[in-house]
A and B are shown apart, each in its own frame.
Chain A
Amino acid sequence: MKTNRREILMFAGGSAVGVLFTPAPWRLITDTALWSENWPGIPAPARGEIRARFTNCSLCTAGCAVRARCVGDQPVQLSGVSGHPLSHGALCPFGIVGHQLPYLPARVKEGPVKEAAAAVADGIAKCGLTEYVAMLDPRPARTASWTYRRAMAALKNGRYVAPSSDTSIAVDLSKARTVLSFGVPVLDGWGTPGNVNVARAGFRLIQVEPVESRTASMADRWLRVRPGSEDALAQALAGQISHAAAADAAGLTVPEIAALAQELEQNGPVLVLGSSRLASTAGAVVARRETPAPEEWKKAAPAADLASLPDRSVRVLLIDESAPGGYLPWNAIEKKLVADNPVVVVFACSREGYARHANYVLPVGVYPEVAEDIPPAIDSVAATFRIAAPLVSAPAGMVRPEAFVAAAAGLAIGDTLRERADAIHKAGRGTLFTYADAKSQALKDVSADNFWKALNAGGCWIDEPDSKPSAARLTTVASETRPAEESELPLAVVLTHELTPGSPLLSKVYRESNLRLAPGRVALNPSCGLDEDALAVFETLLGKCRVGVTLDAAIPPGVVQVSGSPALMDLCAAGARAKVVRV
C-alpha cells in the first residue's frame, strides 16, 4: 500500500473528527480541571485533631467570648460561648470570620524597625522645651495603654493622647424602658451584640437620625431629622429652647416633638445616647470602677485631649493603630506637628489609616495572633478583664508597639498582662467565668496561677458592679456649620460609624453586595443626578478625594452619607458640608 501526503492528512483529519465522538477529549477537559485544583500552593483545609480553644475577640471593645474550632493548630470556625454573662453566646459577622484577618492581602508585613527606632531616639533628643513626644492611643484603657502612659511619664516632654472616652461610666440597658438614640448605631455594632439583644425586649428604641440606618429601620420609632439638627431637638427636650425652634431646625412638627417629650416623660427610665451626650433619668447610666492595675503603674502620665496640645508642638508622634478604636481626623493631628521634620511612627496592619501620613509604618500582629486585653464595653456595668489569647502565630518581623514605645522611653517592662492579672487577683473581688465549662467562681477562691491560666485558656474576670448612678448629664454641642458653606457645598454630610476591620472574604462580600457602604464610597439619593457606581469627586472644606457612588432611597435629598474609611473621615469635621461632582 502506498501512503501519500493526502492520505496522511485525511487519516489525521478523520481521527481528529472521530475522537470528538468519544468520551476522551471531554474527559480530559474535566480531569485537567480537577487536577489543577490540587496544584501545589493552592490552599487546602488543614488536617489534624479537632478540638475547641477559647479566646476573646479584640476587634472591638465588646470583646465577645469566642469558641474556636481548630483542626490541629488552625482555627477553622469561630462561634460564641453559650452562657457568657456579657456576650450571651453571640458573635457578630466580623467576629465570626475574625480568624481570616491575618490573611488580609493588603497587610503590612515588614517595616523599617531599626530606622524608626533611631529616628524616634533622634527626635526625642532634639525635642525643645516647648515641644512634645506624643503617644496617640485610639483604644485607651488597655494594659498596653498603661505602658504608653508610663513611657510618656518617663520622658521629659511625653504626652499620652487618647480620644475622649470616659471608661468610668457605663450604660445599663436593663434599667432603661426607653432609649433615645441620636444617631448611635445601638443595634448595629455599638455595644456588646449579645447583651443588646438580650436587653432589647425590655426597652423601646427611638432613633433620631437623618438617614434610615439599620438601627433606624429596626427601631420602634424613627424620627427623621435634618442633618446637624439633633442638638436642637435635644435642647428642646431638655427645655432649653422652644419646641417651635427645634421643629423648625429639625424638620419636625411641634406636635411631634411634644408627643416625643410626653412619651419620654411617661415611659421612663429614659436613656439618652449620642456621640456627645450620655444621660439617664434614673440609673441607666452608672459609674464603673476601674480595672485594678499595679500600684507602681499609677505614676503614669494622664490622658490628654489632642486639642490640649499647642499647635506645631509635637516633635515625635507615635500612633498605635494595631487595635481598632476611635479615629481622629488627620487634619486635627497634622496641625499639632512641628513644621520642621516631625517624626511620625505608626504601628498598623494596613496602610489605609494613619499609615498614609507616617514617616515609618511598623507591622504589627493582628487578632488572633497577639495576646492583648480588651477594655470594658460601654454596656458592661462592671469592670472586666479578658485576654484575646492567640490562636495562631504571628509572622516573623512583627513589632510589639508597647515594647517599642517603652524601649524608646528607656522604660523596662516585663509581662505586663501577667502583672495586671496579678493586681486584679490581689484586689480579690469579682468573679472568674471560664468558657470551657461555662462556670463562674469567686476570684478569691482561685489561685493567682490558676487565674492566669484561666485567662489564657478562655476566661473573663468580671468585677462586682458599682451600681451607683453616674452624674453624667445631658450636654449638647453646637454645630460648626458655617452658613457660607451652604451655597458652595450643598450636601450635609452624615458619617457612618467606623467599620471594624474584617476578613478579606467578609470585606469582599459586603463591598460587592452593598450590605454596608464600602470604604471609599458615598451614598446619595437617587435624584442626585449621578449614576449607580459612578466615579465622582467628594469635596469638603478640608479637601477632596475620588469616591464611588451608591444610590440609596434611604438617603434624603441634600444629604451625602460617607463611609467610615480613614481617607473620607479625614475630610469630614463635625457638621461638615460637601459636594459630589461626577468625574
Chain B
Amino acid sequence: MALGAGWLAFPRVLYRSRPEPVNFSHKIHADKAGAKCEDCHSFRDDGTFAGMPAIDKCAVCHAAPMGTTAAEKNFIDDYVTPNREPQWAAYARQPENVSFSHAAHVKRAKMACETCHGNTGTSDNLRPYQIDRISGYSRDIWKTPGTPHGMKMADCVSCHRQKGLEHSCLDCHK
C-alpha cells in the first residue's frame, strides 16, 4: 500500500495541472508561416533574451483572424483586440537566485534550442503545465520521451562538465 501510494498517488497529489491560455501550435507557425524560434523568442538590441513574445508581436500577423477556427477567433477576441497579454506559463522558469543567459548559450555557445526545450518547437499542442505544489516550478521542461524531469543545478553542472567548461558559483548565482 505504501509503495502504491508513493508511486501512484503521491505524484497526483503533488502536481497541479494548469492549461496554457491559448492552444498554441508551434508546428503550424513553423510550417505555414515559416517562423523560426528567434522570430518570436527574440533577443533585444542589448543582447538580452526577450522570452515570451508580447501580444503586439502576435498582432503583427493576427490583427485580423487568420482562419475560421474557434481557437483563432477566441485568441483575437480575448487577447489581440483588447491588447491583453496571455498569461503564458513558462516551463523553463528558473529560481530568482539563478542568472541564466540565453545569449551566452545560444549566441556564444551556438546551442540549439532543442537541447533544452526538446521538441517544443515542432509540437502541435502545448502540453498542460504541471506545477509542483511545494516548489512552484514546472514538473518537466525538457519534453523528451520518458519520465518528466525538471531542471536542477545538477543538470547545468553535468552539461558544463561534459563540454569541459570551467564553472564557478558566481557564473549563475551572481
The residues of A with any CB-CB pair to B shorter than 8 Å are 14-19, 21-24, 27-28, 30-32, 34-35, 37-38, 42, 44-45, 50
Contact = CB atoms under 8 A, between A and B. Distances in A.
B48 interface: yes
Most interface-central of A15, A22, A30 (chain B CB within 10 A): A22
B134 A35 contact: yes
User: What is the interface of chain A mostly: helix, strand, loop, or mixed?
Assistant: helix
Contacts of B5: 19, 22, 24
Contact of A27 (B10, B48, B99, B137): B10
A18 B10 contact: no
A509 to B, nearest CB: 9
B6 A24 contact: yes
Nearest to B9: A24
B167 to A, nearest CB: 16
A116 to B, nearest CB: 39
B3 interface: yes
B72 interface: no
Interface in B90-107: 95-97, 99
B2 A19 contact: yes
Contact of A32 (B95, B134, B137): B134
A28 B13 CA distance: 12
A44 B96 contact: yes
A27 B139 CA distance: 11
B48 A18 contact: no
Contacts of B48: 50
Given A27-B10, A32-B134, A14 B95 contact: no
B2 A27 contact: no
| 6 A-B pairs with the lowest CB-CB distances in the bound complex, closest first | A22-B6, A18-B2, A34-B135, A44-B96, A31-B134, A15-B2
A27 B3 CA distance: 14
Given A14-B2, A35-B136, 9 more contacts: A18-B2, A18-B6, A22-B5, A23-B7, A23-B10, A23-B11, A30-B135, A31-B135, A38-B95
Contacts of B46: 50
Most interface-central of B6, B97, B152 (chain A CB within 10 A): B6
A523 to B, nearest CB: 26
Contacts of A38: 95-96, 136
Most interface-central of A24, A28, A42 (chain B CB within 10 A): A24
Contacts of A32: 134
18 contacts: A15-B2, A16-B2, A18-B6, A19-B2, A22-B3, A22-B5, A23-B6, A23-B7, A23-B10, A23-B11, A27-B14, A31-B14, A34-B132, A34-B134, A35-B135, A35-B136, A42-B96, A50-B48
Interface of B: 1-3, 5-7, 10-11, 14, 44, 46, 48, 95-97, 99, 132, 134-137, 152
B15 to A, nearest CB: 10
Nearest to B137: A34
Contact of B97 (A14, A21, A44): A44
Given A27-B14, A37-B97, A50-B48, A21 B3 contact: yes
A19 B95 contact: no
A16 B6 CA distance: 11
Given A19-B5, A21-B6, A22-B2, A31 B132 contact: yes
Nearest to A69: B46
Contacts of A31: 14, 132, 134-135
A31 B136 CA distance: 9
B42 to A, nearest CB: 14
A309 B97 CA distance: 54
Contacts of B99: 45
Contact of B134 (A23, A28, A50): A28
B49 to A, nearest CB: 11
A16 B5 CA distance: 12
B88 to A, nearest CB: 16
A295 to B, nearest CB: 45
Nearest to B44: A50
Contacts of B97: 37, 42, 44
Contacts of A30: 135, 152
A24 B14 CA distance: 9
A44 B11 CA distance: 29
Nearest to B96: A44
B136 A22 contact: no
Nearest to A18: B2
Contacts of A37: 95-97
Nearest to B134: A31
Contact of A15 (B1, B11, B132): B1
A17 B5 CA distance: 13
A34 to B, nearest CB: 4
A153 B96 CA distance: 54
A86 B112 CA distance: 42
Nearest to B3: A18
B1 A22 contact: no
Nearest to A34: B135
Nearest to B13: A24
